[in-house]
Amino acid sequence: MATSDTVLEQHEVQGQTDWSGGKPAFRASYGKLMMWYFLLSDAFTFAGFLIAYGALRFSSPTWPVPDFVFSTAPFGVHHAPLIFVTIMSFLLIVSSVTMVRAVQEGHKENKNGVVFWMLMTILGGAGFLSCQAWEWTNLIGSEHMSVTTNPFGSHTEGGVYLTADGKESEEAFKAGESFLIHKAHAGHGGEAHGEGEHAEQDYSQGDHPGYFVDDRGFVHRKFIVTEGPDAGMVKMEQFGPKAFGALFFFITGFHGFHVFSGVVFLFIIMINAASGLYMRRQNGHEMVEKMGLYWHFVDLVWVFVFLVFYLL
Amino acid sequence: MGHLSYEEAKKVVYKGLVLLAVVTLIEVFFSLLGKGHVIPALKGITWLHYLIGMLLIALSLYKAYFIIYEFMHMRYEVKGLAMSVLLPTLLLIWAIIAFFQEGNSWKNRRELIKEKNVEEVDEGASKQESMLLKDTYILRLEEEGI
């Protein structure tokens, strides 16, 4: 008993009242203050990424429209712009709220409450990660976006698409409208470009009357420009700005990695809390509070990732 | 820690849940409105696009404020702590202005290069120019006494 009492005293001295200089700076414990400063530095990292996104977006004449790019959801839902990411945001908000509850129960030294609410938070975080995994799989697997290829392009001038045999079709578009360059023989469930008729066509590499198939199998549809100085010319769909794919995967990936490590740490701290470790420290479950700061930060970053990638 | 009782604090949390959810829904609604999904006629109006962009940024900053002050308990910390964490982020204002300006300038330069690439070269003018160059060359040779 004697030894554990000594340990307790040490924790109190180090953790709560004093960093052995008389008064603790800003009346906060060392760990909590350093968590704040870590989060500040992390905020700068994320800000650097997001500002790079902004600079590259400003430097491109066109940019993929988010409500066109992010319009698919699981179970075959298409043309549902931003719905899936809104659900992801809700998951993160809810898990943030359950984390606040865990911290509050911690202050009350209610061990079971802490474990219960941390478990809820872990479920929220895991749910978010699963959604992100689906989103990435869809973008990479079905829509063939990669770090170096961005099949989401936008028209810079109005025009009319050609049919497969090179005649003018009914399908007209205006400047600024987005398109997705599909891969030949890659079913992209239900995208409204007449999948049925595609099946019988010749998609061998090279030039065709109505489209051009590049060496990676992307089918660039041809169209006649109907406005502007190039009116009357036949052009084909071009890839969108390359940077989009790289920025998307790096930024959401970096955020997702934060969520993932958050879930791992939540799990460790939940186990520790369940074992009664933080009860013995008698400092109001400060470790749970520090974890809470990190978890809210992850939610905070998502607010801005959501803003720049999906809303604007 | 907090200056609120347990029951009050619990209420703040659920109020926060409703608030963040509602603000997110408003954001999504306005984002789709600006892109012409709600009312198709609104598509492509530039000033509306900028106005909604501003609104979305303001709402996101409000969400960030709420998360930091209520969920992360910044409101109940010492002022010095709050300032030492929040003030450095003001540097980002400079970064945003500088880098967006930079991005815009890249765009202008790319367009300039594109224009220059398709520009017809005036044969006569270029001949004159080369003559001029030749003259200066000879002149220089003379000057140097070769």
**Most A-contacting residue of B28, B30, B74, B108 (CB-CB within 10 A), to test interface:** B28
**Most B-contacting residue of A27, A30, A79, A303 (CB-CB within 10 A), to test interface:** A303
Among A28, A59, A90, select the one facing B81 at the smallest CB separation: A28
The Cα of A152 is separated from the nearest Cα of chain B by a number of Å equal to 17
- State if pTM tops 0.95: no
Cβ-Cβ contacts under 8 Å, A300 against chain B: 64, 67-68
> Does the beta-carbon distance from A54 to B37 stay under 8 Å?
no
Judgement on whether residues A129 and A167 belong to the same structural domain of the protein: no
> Is residue A130's pLDDT more than 50?
yes
> Is residue B144's pLDDT more than 70?
no
Chain B CA closest to residue A79: B37
The Cα of B120 is separated from the nearest Cα of chain A by a number of Å equal to 16
Residue A278 covered by a domain: yes
At B121 the three-state DSSP class reads coil
- Our CA dihedral for A262, B19, B4, A15, rounded to 10 degrees, sits at 10
- Greatest CA separation for chain A: 91
Contact by Cβ (8 Å): A71, A79: yes
Contact by Cβ (8 Å): A72, A131: no
Question: How far is A48 from A60, CA to CA, in rounded Å?
Answer: 19
Task: Report residue A228 CA to chain centroid gap.
Answer: 37
Q: Which of A14-28, A131-145, A211-225, B45-59 has the lowest mean pLDDT?
A: A14-28
Judgement on whether residues A82 and A20 belong to the same structural domain of the protein: yes
> Does the beta-carbon distance from B31 to A310 stay under 8 Å?
yes
> Does the beta-carbon distance from A36 to B81 stay under 8 Å?
yes
Helix count and strand count (H, E) for chain A: 9, 8
> Is residue A283's pLDDT more than 50?
yes
Q: Which of A134-148, B39-53, B114-128 has the lowest mean pLDDT?
A: B114-128
> Is residue B129's pLDDT more than 60?
no
Question: How far is B59 from A306, CA to CA, in rounded Å?
Answer: 12
> Is residue A2's pLDDT more than 50?
no
Judgement on whether residues A35 and A116 belong to the same structural domain of the protein: yes
Among B6, B56, B68, select the one facing A312 at the smallest CB separation: B56
**In the prediction, which pLDDT does A308 show?**
92
Residue A192 covered by a domain: no
> Is residue A278's pLDDT more than 70?
yes
Given pLDDT bands bounded at 50, 70 and 90, which one contains residue A79? confident
Judgement on whether residues A294 and A220 belong to the same structural domain of the protein: no
**In the prediction, which pLDDT does A194 show?**
45
Question: What is the distance between the terminal CA atoms of chain B, rounded to a whole angstrom?
Answer: 89
**In the prediction, which pLDDT does B146 show?**
55
8-state DSSP, A183: B
Query: What CATH number is attached to the domain comprising A94?
Result: 1.20.120.80
Residue A191 covered by a domain: no
The Cα of B48 is separated from the nearest Cα of chain A by a number of Å equal to 12
Dig out the tokens for B109 from the structure: 């330069």
Q: Which of A6-20, A88-102, A129-143, B82-96 has the lowest mean pLDDT?
A: A6-20
Residue A168 covered by a domain: yes
Domain, as residue range, for A158: 152-184+202-236
**In the prediction, which pLDDT does A206 show?**
82
The Cα of B122 is separated from the nearest Cα of chain A by a number of Å equal to 22
Structural domain total, chain A = 2
**In the prediction, which pLDDT does B124 show?**
61
Residue A197 covered by a domain: no
Judgement on whether residues A34 and A173 belong to the same structural domain of the protein: no
Write down the mean pLDDT value for chain B: 84
> Is residue A300's pLDDT more than 50?
yes
Judgement on whether residues A163 and A303 belong to the same structural domain of the protein: no
Q: If you count residue pairs, one on A and one on B, with CB atoms under 8 Å apart, how many are there? A: 143
Phi and psi at B38, nearest 5°, equal -85, -55
The Cα of B36 is separated from the nearest Cα of chain A by a number of Å equal to 10
Residue A298 covered by a domain: yes
> Is residue A146's pLDDT more than 80?
yes
Given pLDDT bands bounded at 50, 70 and 90, which one contains residue B128? low
Chain A CA closest to residue B13: A97
For chain B, give every domain's residue range: 1-76, 91-146
Residue A174 covered by a domain: yes
Question: How far is A246 from A249, CA to CA, in rounded Å?
Answer: 5
Q: Which of A212, A236, A260 is the last residue of a domain?
A: A236
